[in-house]
Amino acid sequence: MKHTRPTESELEILSVLWEKGASTVREIHDVLSQTKDAGYTTTLKLMQIMHEKKLLHRDTSSKTHVYTAAISQQVTQQQLLNKMIDTVFGGSASQLVLQALGHHHSSDEELEKIRQYLAAIEKQQKG
């Protein structure tokens, strides 16, 4: 089933749910309000819309509704990344990687993971 691509605000809510797991609107709003000036009713309305768009599941078995993400973090990241590669980097994944590495300080651990990943890709392509 193809889901609607989430907006930036929807991604913020999904990110909280991916990290915390099942949460109430109040719990989501409390996290968002630490970095964003948005009213509780705005968060509630957005989450209701996200439920209608099938981006969220809602458990109504208790007085306080509990929401969970209906779409996976990995699939969503891949869709957004593919769109960015196509639209911003002319379809070139290597341009994206070079841009990211050129303007981001990577730890030795991150660089080692990248080396291992590249070695695995090379081995797979030769194999």
Q: pLDDT tens digits for 84-97?
A: 899 999 998 888 88
DSSP sequence for 90-117: TT-HHHHHHHHHHTS---HHHHHHHHHH
pLDDT digits (tens, 9 = 90+) for 9-49: 999 999 999 999 999 999 999 999 999 888 999 999 999 99
pTM: 0.74
The pLDDT confidence band at residue 126, using thresholds 50, 70 and 90, is confident
Looking from the CA of 91 toward its CB, the CA atoms found within 13 Å total 0
Q: What percent of the chain has pLDDT over 70?
A: 98
CATH label, 8-69, candidates 1.10.1040.10, 3.40.710.10, 1.10.10.10, 1.10.287.130 = 1.10.10.10
Q: Domain map of the chain by residue range?
A: 8-69, 73-126
**What average pLDDT does this structure show over 107-119?**
90
pLDDT at residue 5, as a whole number: 79
Task: Examine the pLDDT at 103 and tell me if it is beyond 60.
Answer: yes
**pLDDT at site 3:** 58
- Crossing angle of helices 40-52 and 8-20, in 10° steps, is 90
Which one is predicted more confidently, 104 or 81?
81
